[in-house]
A and B are shown apart, each in its own frame.
Chain A
Amino acid sequence: MRAGLALVMFGLMLALPAAAADYAALPGGSFTSVLPADGKAAAAQVAPFRLRTEPVTNAEFLAFVKTHPEWRRDRVARILADQRYLSHWADAETLGSEALPRQPVTRVSWFAAQAYCESEGARLPSWYEWEYAAAADATRRDARSDPAWRENLLAWYSRPSNAPLPDVGGAPNAYGVRDITQPVWEWVDDFNALLVASDSRDQNDPDVLKFCGAGAVSLQEKENYAVLMRIAMLSALKAADTTNNMGFRCAKPE
């Protein structure tokens, strides 16, 4: 009987690996984004939401792949994840020495990140939610005017891209959210909608620079180029792309 109970408990633990993920409550509100809501100057309105305190790790993503085999790297449809998807893992169901359990998972496509969050009863955060959460430092909710905050964001660029990623669990910011600007970049739900030009008829110009330029004209806070570079990076990606440094975390409504 006791063994049976233990088995049930164990089954529950297996079935709900995601229940362990911690979410912090963020109050939201009016937020001055680098990306004006109307393409000109309007502040973004962020509804109260909850955000995963840590990025999704290799161990967590492995548990997901085991219960959702359509996301194994040897089974996933190519249109949903490119060739490099999870290619640093030892095999389809083994992490290995290049992917430690507590390191943030990278080389995941936007589709895979969305599917993971859905399995956790969550979704990807919007760009505004991510930017809002990343505006905090250890003590202040909006530290963006402090040069030290910008330095911290820029420090990402000085980290060699071939250096192993540190484990998740860095110092929390004022919301209790960890690792949001380091060590990985993160997918957001609307990554492919950030630089849509105001006049839709300008779209799909084969001249990519011109296209980016069209969006960039309306970007605010130009001194905040560390954040702007994230927008440029996200906008350059396709939903099936994976990169060495792109991970994700999930969000939930309040």
Chain B
Amino acid sequence: MKRLLSLFAMLLLLGSARAATPLPGDSVYNLKVQLTDQDGRQQTLADRRGRPQLVTMFYTSCQMVCPMIIDSLRLTRNALDPATRAQIDLLAVSMDPARDDVATLKSYAERRKLDPRIWTLARAEPAQVRQLSGVLGLQYRQLPDGEFNHSSELILLDADGRIAARTARIGKLDPEFVEAIRKLVAQPHG
């Protein structure tokens, strides 16, 4: 019991030590973004610090490419060995916060069978969504009919929020991207 407690204390210390370390200047976590997920939970983008993330931007009413973006995220995760898979989280942020409210994100997650322990579908205020696209190097433009033109990419962030790899291959697996994730997680402080 004592040992368990001290282990717990050590973990706590480690956790706070990580949080206390200043962010690298090239971390996307320098950007203040307030996210709300499919269950209405609030967190900042920087709260995701500590574990590598696969990040993308999408919107739920998108018929053509976005389902493929979500499929590609799933495909990529499934291509990882279980130990690596357990080390990463998935984050998809909507570029359409006007229509993608919490309930819409929730029903989309259920329809697509996206396990909330693995998947975070999130919305943010429009100005912050635009800023997020700026740090991630993604582009989107709303059309008069409400659809979007947008770039489609999966982005790998390291535990401190630095962009470690990205792929624009959507709809089929990008083996180089999978390898980049595997390598990052294999690093001692990945």
Identify the A interface with B (CB < 8 A). Answer: 37-39, 42, 45, 77-80, 110-111, 114, 118, 123, 189-190, 192-194, 196-198, 200-201, 203-204, 238-240
Residue contact A196 to B144, C-beta cutoff 8 Å: no
- Which of chain A's residues have a CB closer than 8 A to the CB of B135? 79-80, 239
- Which of chain B's residues have a CB closer than 8 A to the CB of A240? 134
Residue contact B139 to A79, C-beta cutoff 8 Å: no
Give A191's nearest chain B residue, CB to CB.
Answer: B134
Residue contact A196 to B149, C-beta cutoff 8 Å: yes
Residue contact A39 to B149, C-beta cutoff 8 Å: yes
- Which of chain A's residues have a CB closer than 8 A to the CB of B82? none
Task: Offer 13 A-B interface pairs, CB within 8 angstroms, sorted by A.
Answer: A37-B144, A38-B143, A38-B144, A38-B145, A42-B144, A77-B26, A114-B131, A193-B139, A196-B141, A196-B151, A198-B149, A200-B151, A201-B170
- Per the bound structure, the CA–CA distance linking A238 and B139 in Å amounts to 11
Residue contact B152 to A80, C-beta cutoff 8 Å: no
- Per the bound structure, the CA–CA distance linking A78 and B28 in Å amounts to 10
Known: A78-B26, A79-B27, A79-B28. A196 touches B139 (CB 8 A): yes
Known: A80-B30, A200-B152, A204-B151. A192 touches B23 (CB 8 A): no
Residue contact B143 to A37, C-beta cutoff 8 Å: yes
Rounded to whole Å, the gap between the CB of A96 and the closest CB of chain B is 25
B119 sits at the interface (CB 8 A) = no
Q: Would you call the interface of chain B mostly helix, strand, loop, or mixed?
A: loop
Residue contact B143 to A204, C-beta cutoff 8 Å: no
Known: A110-B134, A201-B170, A203-B139. A79 touches B150 (CB 8 A): no
B83 sits at the interface (CB 8 A) = no
Rounded to whole Å, the gap between the CB of B44 and the closest CB of chain A is 15
Task: List 6 tightest A-B contacts by C-beta distance, closest first.
Answer: A239-B134, A77-B30, A78-B25, A204-B168, A193-B141, A203-B151
Rounded to whole Å, the gap between the CB of B137 and the closest CB of chain A is 7
* 13 more CB-based (< 8 A) A-B contacts, given A79-B28, A204-B153: A38-B143, A77-B30, A79-B31, A111-B134, A114-B127, A123-B127, A190-B141, A192-B134, A196-B149, A196-B150, A201-B170, A203-B152, A239-B134
Known: A78-B26, A79-B27. A192 touches B131 (CB 8 A): no
- Per the bound structure, the CA–CA distance linking A200 and B67 in Å amounts to 13
Q: What are the interface flags for B66-84 relative to A under an 8 Å C-beta threshold, 1 for contact and 0 otherwise?
A: 0000000000000000000
Rounded to whole Å, the gap between the CB of A163 and the closest CB of chain B is 31
Residue contact B28 to A201, C-beta cutoff 8 Å: no
Give A114's nearest chain B residue, CB to CB.
Answer: B131
Interface residues of B in 140-182 (CB under 8 A from A): 140-141, 143-145, 148-153, 168, 170
Residue contact A238 to B137, C-beta cutoff 8 Å: yes
B133 sits at the interface (CB 8 A) = yes
Give B153's nearest chain A residue, CB to CB.
Answer: A204
- Per the bound structure, the CA–CA distance linking A42 and B141 in Å amounts to 14
Residue contact B131 to A77, C-beta cutoff 8 Å: no
Give B69's nearest chain A residue, CB to CB.
Answer: A200
- Per the bound structure, the CA–CA distance linking A37 and B146 in Å amounts to 11
